Amino acid sequence: MDAMNAAQAAQAALGAASAGAAGAAQMLGQLDTTQLMAVAAAMGWASGIRLYAVVFLTGLAGYLGWVPLPSGLHVLENPIMLAASGALLTVEFFADKIPGLDSIWDSVHTFLRVPAGAALAAGVFGGDHQTWAMVAALAGGTLAASSHVAKATTRAAVNTSPEPFSNIGLSLLGDAAVPGMLWLSWNEPYWFFGALAVAVVVGLVLTVVLFRFLRGLFRRVRGWVSPQAMQAG
C-alpha cells in the first residue's frame, strides 16, 4: 500500500512538473521576435548601468514564475546565482552612492558590463536561433557600452561638485530606471523601444557635453599646477 501511494504521488508530481514546463513553454512560445528583441535590448542597456540588478531581478522574476525565461537565461534562476547576484547588487547599491567610489566602481566594471550585456542579450534567444542570438549580442554589447560610458562620464562630472546630493539623486534614478525598463520590455515592448531611443540620445548628448567639460576642467587644473610646480622647482 505504501509503495502504491508513493508511486501515485511520484506520478502526480511528475504530471504537475510536466504541466508546469508545458505551460512555461507555451508562454515563451507566445513571445514574438519583437518582444524577444525588446528583452534583449533592455538587458543589454540596463547592464551598462546596473549589471547585478539585471541579473538578480531577471532571475528572481523567472524563479517566482512572473516571466517565462528563455532556456539561455535559466541559469539566472539558480538559487546560488540569485544569492551571489543579490549580494553584489547590495554592494553596488551602496558603492554607487559614495562620491569617488562610484567612479572607481564604474572603472573596474568597464571590463565586465559590456561583455555581460552582450552575453545576457544573446541568452534571450538561446542556442536554437544563432543568427538572432548574434544580432542580440552585438546590439546588447553596444547598448551596454553606450549606457556605461554615459553613466561613468556623468558621475565623474557630478563628482567635481562638493555636495553629495546630486550624486545620490543620479544613483537613485539609475536604481529606478533599470527595473522600469526591464518591466517595459516584457509588458510593453513598443513603449520600451521609444523609451530606449530617448535614453540613448540623452546618453550620447550627456557623454559629449560632459566629456568636453571634464577635458576643459583637466586643462585648467593642469595649467594651474604646472606654474606652481615650476616655482617650487
The model's confidence at residue 11, banded by pLDDT at 50, 70 and 90, is low
Instruction: State yes or no: pLDDT of 220 exceeds 80.
Output: no
User: Where is average pLDDT lowest: 47-61, 85-99, 176-190, 202-216?
Assistant: 202-216
What phi-psi label fits residue 157: left (phi over 0), alpha (psi between -120 and 50 degrees) or beta?
A: alpha
Can you give the pLDDT at residue 127?
Answer: 62
Give every CB contact of residue 67 below 8 A, 6+ residues apart in sequence.
58, 61, 186
The model's confidence at residue 157, banded by pLDDT at 50, 70 and 90, is confident
What phi-psi label fits residue 98: left (phi over 0), alpha (psi between -120 and 50 degrees) or beta?
A: beta
Instruction: State yes or no: pLDDT of 9 exceeds 80.
Output: no
| Greater pLDDT, 66 or 212 | 66
Can you give the pLDDT at residue 59?
Answer: 96
Can you give the pLDDT at residue 14?
Answer: 40
Instruction: State yes or no: pLDDT of 15 exceeds 60.
Output: no
Q: Which residues of 111-138 are buried (b: 16+ CB within 10 A; e: fewer)?
A: eebbebbbbbbbbbbbeebeebbebbbe
Question: What pTM was computed for the model?
Answer: 0.80
Give every CB contact of residue 115 below 8 A, 6+ residues apart in sequence.
141
Can you give the pLDDT at residue 26?
Answer: 43
Per-residue pLDDT tens digits for 111-145? 999 999 999 999 998 766 788 889 999 999 999 99
CB distance 148 to 110 below 8 Å: yes
Separation of alpha carbons 106 and 58, rounded Å? 22
